Structure 1
Amino acid sequence: MIRNVDLNADMGEGFGPWSMGDDGALLDIVTSANVACGFHAGDPDVMAQTMRMAAQNEVGIGAHPGFADLKGFGRRQLPLGQDEIANAVAYQLGAAQAMARRAGGQVRHLKLHGALANMASVDHQLAKTCYQAALDIDPDIIIMVLAATAQEEAARALGCHWAGEIFSDRAYNNDATLVDRSLPGAVLHDAKVAAPRILDMLKAGAIIAESGKYIPCQIDTICLHGDTPGAVAMARGIRDHLSEAGITLAPLAGPAQTR
């Protein structure tokens, strides 16, 4: 059974006067924050505020790059060339590094967002392109990957520091990809359902698909989405349930964690 794990949440996803999720409350619960970099959501002010709170709470800061798609929240696939995507990832990581440094912290990990992440979970070359763009800037950055997908294959091939991620609030297909959000049951909202399910995955060292299939994988971090209704209650319920089961929650440990 896995005894130590990171709990991460996507945040900093407001824009100007429009807020998205309760980042302040989440930062009292999670151990890592994936901060939007201004393409799918976020702006310099939102990034600064989110990263400042994360640094003050000793929460690990990560860059969360996605497609330049504010209207679609980065969840629409864009027909871009891989060089263009690589440049977009590098640009967003650079912005995140600057804002984190100014806030008194540093970017420790990178996690792809939305449609870009989903595409990279089935496209080894796209994942490798995105990750290499980040590694060109920071060779020691931790690449957070969707466990047991092409993302993990790409990270392993690159020989970089990486962390395997599972989702607390999303259902899985049999190939370890996420069930499409348009389908019933794709997104979970009740911690009483999600928390025991996650504990079962940690005990098994495997993703449990919607079909009941077990997919063995490395689990270093658990994600929940900060923009979903009830995200704070979900995060607190999961943290409490895991703590009661003897699981220690802590930020990603850095390069030494890579296996």
Structure 2
Amino acid sequence: MTRTVDLNADMGESFGAWSLGDDAGLLDIVTSANIACGYHAGDPDVMAATMKHAVAKGTGIGAHPGFPDLQGFGRRRMSVPHETLGNMVRYQLGAAQAMARAAGGAVRHLKLHGALANMASEDMAMARACYQAALSVDPEIIVMVLAGTAQQQAAQELGCKTACEIFADRAYNDDATLVDRSLPGAVIHDPAEAGRRMVEMVQEGAIITASGKRIPARIDTICLHGDTPAAVAIAADVRRALQDSGVGLAQFSGAVL
């Protein structure tokens, strides 16, 4: 049976007069889109336009909630009570659902953004608070998790539909978390290197860390960040490398762990 994997990208991250990323270019490549919900990026007009384009392309739509941090693009850590955190997730998911429905589509998955995601990958109680909130809005939503982290443990404990994710353009620590962006080599800018790494990881069924350690992992989807200068080139090279290696591309099913 042919191995298949989903390709996802974060998008809808422009705001007002400020434009970020080539969403149109990415939508020609990916199979799933994580659309910003207005807290870390995006605004109502950007959300509406991005949802419309995703529906036209037949791309799977996901809500991409983050911390309320437009200035820091949601990449600054915050201390938020779990009850408030849950309501923040509900609020952003609700906005995404409304915009998707108006565009003739529907939200099928949820993926945490930035510092919120990084913190939840280290703290299972925090991840559980976020996912329980999303499930209280839509019990059938697919939760996209960072493979091999506390996010995956929380989703498994909740018994919800799950898609396990690895990153094409980020280096990994030996505990399956992402290398901090402030450190050298944390972000991969070479499209050919990104494509080679993803083929290797998918074929081995493992996360390969910066030190060379192999961490066995379920890999359902690969993240292609949309906010880097080489984003579209990296996405295209990853897609081409996977297809050349015999890996098929398809939206994830969201099987329970």
The two structures have a TM-score, normalised by structure 2, of 0.98
Q: Hey, what does 1:151 align to over in structure 2?
A: 151
CA separation in 2, counterparts of 1:251 and 1:101? 19
Q: 1:2 Cα deviation (Å)?
A: 7.5
Residue type at the aligned position of 2:66: G
- Report SS of the residue matched to 1:48: helix
Q: 1:118 Cα deviation (Å)?
A: 0.3
- Report SS of the residue matched to 2:153: helix
Q: For the aligned residues, what is the CA RMSD?
A: 1.0
CA separation in 1, counterparts of 2:167 and 2:64? 16
Matched, 1:10 2:10: yes
1:14 and 1:41 in contact (8 A); partners too: yes
Q: Hey, what does 1:224 align to over in structure 2?
A: 224
Residue-by-residue CA offset, 1:150-205 (whole Å, 9 max, x unaligned): 00000000000001000000000000000000001000011111111111101110
Alignment of 1:178-193 (within 5 A): 178-193=178-193
Alignment of 1:79-158 (within 5 A): 79-158=79-158
Gaps of 5+ in 1: none
- Report SS of the residue matched to 2:38: coil
2:2 and 2:246 in contact (8 A); partners too: no
Residue-by-residue CA offset, 1:27-59 (whole Å, 9 max, x unaligned): 000000000000000011000000100000000
Residue-by-residue CA offset, 1:72-111 (whole Å, 9 max, x unaligned): 0000011211111110000000000000000111000000
Residue-by-residue CA offset, 1:105-159 (whole Å, 9 max, x unaligned): 1000000000000000010000000000000000000000000000000000000
Q: Hey, what does 1:205 align to over in structure 2?
A: 205
Q: Hey, what does 1:258 align to over in structure 2?
A: 256
1:2 and 1:203 in contact (8 A); partners too: no
- Report SS of the residue matched to 1:175: coil
Deviates more, 1:174-183 or 1:75-84: 75-84
CA separation in 2, counterparts of 1:247 and 1:58? 20
CA separation in 2, counterparts of 1:199 and 1:40? 31
- Report SS of the residue matched to 1:5: strand
CA separation in 2, counterparts of 1:201 and 1:189? 18
Q: 1:230 Cα deviation (Å)?
A: 1.0
Q: 1:17 Cα deviation (Å)?
A: 1.3
Q: Hey, what does 2:30 align to over in structure 1?
A: 30
- Report SS of the residue matched to 2:185: coil
Residue type at the aligned position of 2:215: I
Matched, 1:164 2:201: no
- Report SS of the residue matched to 1:7: strand
Residue type at the aligned position of 2:58: E
CA separation in 2, counterparts of 1:212 and 1:13? 33
Q: Hey, what does 1:72 align to over in structure 2?
A: 72
CA separation in 2, counterparts of 1:187 and 1:221? 18
Residue type at the aligned position of 1:44: P
CA separation in 2, counterparts of 1:119 and 1:78? 9
CA separation in 1, counterparts of 2:183 and 2:252? 32
1:69 and 1:76 in contact (8 A); partners too: yes
2:159 and 2:256 in contact (8 A); partners too: no
CA separation in 2, counterparts of 1:102 and 1:3? 34
CA separation in 1, counterparts of 2:80 and 2:153? 22
1:172 and 1:178 in contact (8 A); partners too: yes
Q: Hey, what does 2:214 align to over in structure 1?
A: 214
Percent of pairs with identical residues: 66
Residue type at the aligned position of 2:256: T
Residue-by-residue CA offset, 1:234-255 (whole Å, 9 max, x unaligned): 101110111111111111224x
Runs of 4+ more than 3 Å apart: none
CA separation in 2, counterparts of 1:2 and 1:148? 24
